[in-house]
Amino acid sequence: MKLEEYLEKWVKGEAEEVIEYLAAARIAEEKGLIEVAQALRTIAFEEAFHGAHALVQAGEIKDLKEFIKKRIEAEKEAAKVRHEEASHHDEPWKTLFEYTARDEERHARILEGILKKLE
């Protein structure tokens, strides 16, 4: 397999693992298994860093400011789509769509603050 092909597969695989470990951590937490939840979160972060290290080594993030600008737009778009989805669903999905949309908006605001500091 070519490096570029493997890189994409690898990074996606790590991202999926992060989400699955964090989902399992939530379940562990709901069951009161705090140490289990913490261990699963630690693994999730390590998986995230594997993908991050591979992206950095491949030179995927060339310019920090450009990356942040791109992410601001992506966060805003995600928020827009999530709010739109919320209007088409009943609970408990409605609340999940809305609260995650507000998080995406907050991420965009944080990134805008970072961008100002970098300029």
- One of 40, 82, 104, 111 touching Fe ion (CB under 5 A): 104
| 40, 20 contact by CB (below 8 A) | no
Would you say 34 or 81 has its CB closer to Fe ion?
Answer: 81
Determine if 83 is a binding residue for Fe ion (CB under 5 A): no
Tallying the residues shown for the chain, one arrives at 119
Identify residue 58 by its one-letter amino acid code.
A
Q: Is the peptide bond before 92 cis (omega within 30 degrees of 0)?
A: yes
Residues between 10 and 39 with contacts to Fe ion, criterion CB under 5 A: none
Expressed in angstroms, the distance from the first to the final Cα of the chain is 40
Q: Establish if 47 lies at the interface with Fe ion (CB under 5 A).
A: yes
76 interacts with Fe ion by CB under 5 A: no
Question: In the set 24, 39, 48, 50, which binds Fe ion (CB under 5 A)?
Answer: 50
